[in-house]
Structure formats: structure tokens, C-alpha cells
Amino acid sequence: MSGGVSFEQDELERIIFGFALQAQKQITNHIQKPKKRVIVIAGPTGCGKSDFAMMLAREINGEIISADSMQIYRHMDIGTAKPPKKDQKEIPHHLIDALDITEPFNVVDFYYESRHCIQKILARDAVPIVVGGSGFYLQSLIYGPPSGPPSVPELRKSIEEQVEHLGADVMYEKLRQLDLEYANTITKNDKQKIVRALEIIHLTGKKVSQLSWKARKSPLNYDFRCWFLYRPKDQLYARIDERCDQMIAAGFLDEVKKLLPLGLEENSSTARAIGYRQAIDYFNSPQKEEDYQRFVKAFKQSSRNYAKRQLTWFRKRPMFNWLDLDLHDTEVAGDMVRQDYEAGL
């Protein structure tokens, strides 16, 4: 009798232990591991993002991922304000000097390449610091690449026939007229992307650049700690004008002249890049003194206009914390970003 009771107690304890073990597994499965943190440093052109990122990277064992749409190209150095070689040797930089200027690179490519870089950096127990002013690229990194409605075979076939009949150049120009922001992220050689973009616009009546992340409210995979660096407009514009002068003095026109035979104009993205577009116009002019002065003026004006568009675009992105580099000492601003990263507040 006592043996039976002992057996029943042992069996009961075994069953209870089994239930407890299963419950523990269920709890463990539902506990989400904290997301790895990634620092994003954005800001208008000329505000000092690169220097700030270098300072931060030195302090927190960081590696820098460029979110600049033109720094990916080799030999586009002066006009893209590419980090000096000594900085690239001191702190690992990614997505810089990775492509020839004739190779296409767009927002989807950036999404996959930047995410791959983040994974490699985190595997080394280093801190990924994404730096750039391209809002379209950063939006893709954080929320995922552009998407759209399901394809309609009949419509797609019709657009493909137009591309074949009229040529990719004509259809690309049509896309530029309908959605310049997205068209600037691809080239006239990206026939599939041209077709898909025109299909999306036809089906939705909206621009691809506006539609892309409509339904996406949560960042993907990582805890992005996002900062937007800025300065008062009068100071920012003065810095931009001075930087344009410095670029020209450093040999920017000579750089463009060397890039032309390498295919600068074959890639519509590089040919329309700020500074490069104005330089191409200058070389296509009689190149008299008034043409040179017109180039300098257009270069500065286009740069200031771009900064203004960046300020407007990021103002609508609530996940970015704005940081006035005129109000805060650079080291204090760096401490703010570092402490936010470490605390995850």
C-alpha cells in the first residue's frame, strides 16, 4: 500500500515537473531578446556629420556605414566630401569606393548592402554608425525597401512593350517627370525598375517615393537610435558656401574632367549629382569667366537648396532626435548620443 502511494507521488511529481518544464519553455519562447542597437547620424549637407561620426566612433568602438548615394562610387571624392583616407584607415568605413561610376546603385541595393554591413559589424562586437543625408536611403534602412501593389500581367506587358518600342531613355524620362525622387535612385539602364515604378504609379496614382513605406510604422530588426544634426540656417548656408569654395580650390573641376571619360554621364544618378551636374554644364559652355562664375553660383545654390529639402524632409520624421550643433558643444553632443546608445532610453 505504502509502495503504491510512493509510486503515485513519484508519478505526480514527474507530471508536475513536466508541466513546469513545458511552461518554462513557453515563457522562454515568448521572451523577446532585446534588439541590437544601431546609431543613425543624419543631417543636411555641410553640417559636420562626418567629423561628428568620427569622434563618436573613436569613443565607442564604432564602424561607419555611409548612407551617401554618391560616396559609393570610386573617384568621386572631392565633390562628395568623402572622408579622408587617413580617417578611413583609422576607423573602418563601409559602402565607400565600392563601385565604378557606370554601375547602378539604388535604394534597394543600399538596404541589403547596409544591413549586411550592420550584421558584420555587430558580429565583431563593434557599433554600427550609419552616416548620411539621404532620407530615402535611411528610410529604406530603417523600415525596409520600397514595395507596392501586386503586379498586373497585362499592364506590365504593355509597359514593357512601350520600353522596347520607345526605348528605355524615353520611358526613364517619363518616370522622371512623374517621380523625380525615385527616378534619381535608379538609372536609365534599370529597365525592370522603370517598368515596375511606372506600373505602381499607374495602379495607385501615387509616386513610388511617397507610397513606399505607407504601412510601415515599426523599424525592422534593430533598435535604431536616430539623430539629426543641424545648425541655424544662416550658419549652415555660410558653411555650405565655404565648403563649395574649398572643393573648387581642392581641384573639383579637375576631378570631374577625369571622370567624364570614365562614364560620369552614362550613369544618370552621378551625372545629376550636386556639383557634378553644374560642372558638366560648365564644361559644355565656352568656359569663359562668366561661365565659371555661373558654375560657382549654381553649385552653391544647388547645395543650399538640397540642405533646405533635407531639413524639410527630416522634420516630418519623428523618430529622429534633433541636435543643434551650434547650441551644444561637439563633445557634449557626442556624450548625448553615446549615453542614449548605452542606456537605450
Give 307-325 pLDDT, tens digit per residue. Answer: 999 999 899 888 899 999 9
- Residue range(s) of every CATH 3.40.50.300 domain in the chain: 37-147+213-343
Give the pTM: 0.76
Pick among 3.10.105.10, 1.10.20.140, 3.40.50.150, 3.40.50.300: CATH of 153-211 = 1.10.20.140
DSSP string for residues in 146-158: ---SPP-HHHHHH
Convert the pLDDT of each residue in 147-202 to its tens digit.
667 778 788 889 989 998 999 899 999 999 999 888 887 777 778 789 888 988 98
Q: Is it true that domain 37-147+213-343 has CATH number 3.10.129.10?
A: no
- Residue range(s) of every CATH 1.10.20.140 domain in the chain: 153-211
**pLDDT score at 40:** 97
Residues of the chain with pLDDT under 70: 1-33, 146-148, 211-220, 344-345
Which residues, including other chains, have CB under 8 Å from residue 167's CB and lie 6 or more apart? none
- Tell me the sheet residues that pair with 63: 128
